[in-house]
């Protein structure tokens, strides 16, 4: 039987994870303001026990750890290189109340009723079976505890994705993922997410519609930003791995044309739409 989430594990602990480690600062600049909206939903106490799901290189985990100096924060991810970076950063910053673990929240049983709060910045949309994963998350929260996460709305409201896909499809036979399949936009349907949370046992479920500009590839030229864009999409990366360099160069030129109106001198500035989802046990 194929390992659950096998493709995700291969990508995030392989070249995908390595790439995000390399581009960590740029990604944090893009995602941090959006993640802050979800974090603000949690009434963190100084001694809170917090779980950070899909913590990546640990920026969110370390930020939470500073807010709960007498508590602890556990950061979970399936990417070994990203967690290595997170541990290194915790050491550099002298933050001791964190614990990073290689854990697949869908497959590996979490400790029951351990956490006061569970948080995620774009880390919960990649499960093969989200119902199974969220039941596991629910069981890990103490009675009265809270969940908050941020996820992307429809690609059409996020041109950083929809525009690029349109360009790339002019060169590659890029398949449309099945609806609700693991990926950045798996949770764009509010009713679907609500159903997952309700079936997992959560109550007081709410959705905030957050729309704001985001900066991708801060400090990069239009050329550099377009090149980097090709590297962050696991589907495109896989499709291009054996392609000639001139095809990649051609795609980059077309991306530059499509992205030019969004290049403001400091990377690419796009409108974005996210759901800030909160619930309680």
Residue written as token pair 């690609």: 155
H and E: helices and strands count for the chain: 11, 7
- The DSSP code for 265 is S
Alpha carbons 221 and 26: distance in angstroms, whole number: 13
Check residue 1 and give its pLDDT: 35
CB-based contacts of 188, cutoff 8 Å, min separation 6: 151, 152, 153, 154, 155, 275
Residue written as token pair 């929260």: 141
Check residue 18 and give its pLDDT: 58
Q: Quick: pLDDT tens for 191-223.
A: 999 999 999 999 999 999 999 999 998 888 999
Query: Do 190 and 207 form a contact (C-beta atoms < 8 A)?
Result: yes
Average pLDDT of span 254-270: 92
Q: The CATH number of 6-155+180-215+273-280 is which of 3.40.50.720, 3.40.190.10, 3.30.70.2860, 3.40.50.150?
A: 3.40.50.150
Handedness of CA 189, 194, 197, 199 (dihedral sign): negative
Q: Quick: pLDDT tens for 149-162.
A: 999 999 999 999 99
Q: Quick: pLDDT tens for 72-129.
A: 999 999 888 889 999 999 999 999 999 999 999 999 999 999 999 999 999 999 999 9
Residue 2 — pLDDT band, cuts 50, 70, 90?
Answer: very low
pTM for the predicted model, two decimal places: 0.89
Check residue 26 and give its pLDDT: 77
Check residue 54 and give its pLDDT: 95
Alpha carbons 12 and 86: distance in angstroms, whole number: 14
Average pLDDT of span 126-142: 96
Q: Quick: pLDDT tens for 16-54.
A: 555 555 667 778 888 999 999 999 999 999 999 999 999
């Amino acid at each position: 039987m194929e390992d659950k989430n096998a493709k995700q594990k291969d990508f995030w602990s392989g070249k995908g994870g390595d790439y995000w480690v390399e581009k960590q600062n740029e990604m944090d600049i893009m995602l941090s303001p959006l993640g802050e909206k979800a974090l603000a939903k949690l009434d963190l106490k100084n001694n809170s026990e917090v779980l950070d799901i899909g913590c990546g290189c640990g920026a969110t985990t370390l930020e939470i750890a500073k807010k709960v100096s007498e508590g602890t924060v556990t950061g979970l991810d399936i990417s070994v290189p990203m967690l290595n970076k997170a541990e290194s950063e915790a050491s550099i910053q002298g933050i001791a109340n964190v614990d990073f673990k290689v854990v697949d929240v869908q497959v590996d049983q979490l400790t029951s009723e351990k956490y006061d709060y569970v948080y995620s910045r774009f880390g919960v949309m990649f499960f093969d079976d989200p119902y199974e994963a969220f039941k596991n998350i629910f069981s890990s929260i103490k009675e009265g505890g809270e969940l908050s996460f941020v996820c992307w709305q429809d690609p059409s409201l996020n041109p950083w994705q929809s525009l690029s896909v349109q360009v790339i499809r002019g060169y590659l036979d890029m398949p449309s993922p099945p609806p609700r399949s693991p990926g950045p936009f798996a949770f764009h349907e509010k009713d679907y997410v609500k159903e997952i949370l309700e079936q997992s046992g959560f109550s007081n479920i709410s959705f905030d519609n957050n729309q704001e500009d985001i900066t991708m590839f801060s400090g990069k030229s239009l050329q550099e930003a377009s090149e980097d864009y090709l590297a962050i999409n696991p589907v495109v990366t896989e499709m291009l791995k054996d392609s000639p360099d001139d095809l990649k160069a051609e795609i980059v030129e077309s991306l530059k044309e499509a992205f030019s109106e969004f290049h403001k001198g400091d990377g690419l500035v796009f409108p974005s739409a996210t759901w800030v989802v909160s619930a309680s046990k």
